[in-house]
Amino acid sequence: MSQTPALVELHTISRFFGGIRALDGVSMNVRAGTIHGLIGPNGAGKTTLINLLTGFYRPTSGHVLLDGQRLDGSRPHRIARRGVARTFQNVRLFSGLPAIDNVLVARRRGTLHRSFGRLLFLPGAARAERAERAVASQLLTQLGVDALSRRPAGNLSYGDQRRVELARALATQPRLLLLDEPAAGMNREETDRLGNVVRGLIRPDRAILLIEHDLPLIMAVCDQVTVLNFGRVIAEGPPAAIARDPAVIEAYLGTEDDDAQL
């Protein structure tokens, strides 16, 4: 069976900060219809790579393609409009707004004409508003937090805030969904539920790039895994193969020689 084409292609991406090489010649393909894990020790370059994909950084060299078209060099809001959405390591919600309004913020991006319509109480604007709320409500239901939709986001538990943030990312109807350590701060039971949610988000035309330190989650949900260490790809393949790779084991656990030097 032939593989689906790559939705995202990274070609020898490097990013330097002064004399520090945060990424050094990274190449990687992320295919539609899959969950692609990105793992590595702290400081491996994982968040730098996400910031490149979302336009917060530009590569020092190399380039990124989305659907065969150059992505690097575009501003973050233009990249978002092309179908790239993300969550963050630290939850970034509007704490005073109800959960459903946090999701609606994403639905309303680029709809200035609708905002004027709402101000003028136009019938079409009211219908559009109801439709947007219905979509936001459906996303909260999908993620199991619909009963909390009217509560201020800042009053929700950490796990529920994570789910609201994920609903907001999904509200943009992304082709590429970047999840930056979504299980951070969760216990095992919450993480297992999150894994089921993430698997349920995959679509034939959507790819998910999952950055995580929780290796059981990575092994449970990912189709393919790329491992970074010191800004370089040291391994790539199916989760079972990655778990047995000596270079990956050394990057995470060190060697006997390392222990002897402590």
Do 255 and 127 share a structural domain? no
Name the strand (E) or helix (H) holding 26: strand 20-31
Give the model confidence (pLDDT) of 117-134 as tens digits.
454 455 666 677 778 888
Q: How many angstroms separate the CA atoms of 135 and 103, rounded?
A: 9
Do 215 and 106 share a structural domain? no
User: Is 88 contained in some domain?
Assistant: no
Do 178 and 167 share a structural domain? no
Domain boundary among the residues 171, 188, 223 is at 171
Q: How many angstroms separate the CA atoms of 39 and 84, rounded?
A: 20
Q: How many angstroms separate the CA atoms of 194 and 159, rounded?
A: 9
Do 132 and 76 share a structural domain? no
User: What residues contact 9, with CB distance under 8 A and at least 6 apart?
Assistant: 28, 29, 30, 64, 65
Tokens representing 133 are: 């709320």
Place of tokens 């539920």: 193
Using the predicted structure, report yes or no on whether residue 1 has a pLDDT greater than 80.
no
Q: What is the DSSP letter of 156?
A: S
Q: How many angstroms separate the CA atoms of 143 and 241, rounded?
A: 31
Domain boundary among the residues 138, 171, 204 is at 171
Q: Are strands 176-180 and 84-86 parallel, antiparallel or unpaired?
A: parallel
Give the model confidence (pLDDT) of 141-172 as tens digits.
999 899 999 999 999 988 899 999 999 999 99
Give the model confidence (pLDDT) of 46-92 as tens digits.
999 999 999 999 999 999 999 999 999 899 999 999 999 999 888 88
User: Residues 32, 76: contact at Cβ < 8 Å?
Assistant: no
Sheet holding 207-211, edge to edge: 84-86, 176-180, 207-211, 35-39, 224-229, 232-237
Do 15 and 132 share a structural domain? no
User: Is 128 contained in some domain?
Assistant: yes
Q: Is 262 or 260 the better-scoring residue by pLDDT?
A: 260
Tokens representing 136 are: 């936001």
Average pLDDT over the chain, rounded to an integer:
87
Domain count, the chain: 2
Mean pLDDT across the stretch 200-222? 94
Q: How many angstroms separate the CA atoms of 82 and 139, rounded?
A: 20
Q: Tell me which residue range forms the domain holding 131.
A: 93-171
User: Is 129 contained in some domain?
Assistant: yes
Do 122 and 11 share a structural domain? no
User: Residues 171, 107: contact at Cβ < 8 Å?
Assistant: yes
Give the residue from 165, 3, 166, 6 showing the smallest Cα distance to 71.
6
Query: Which CA distances in Å does 159 have to 85, 86, 142, 185?
Result: 19, 17, 15, 8
pLDDT band at 112 (very low <50, low <70, confident <90, very high): very low
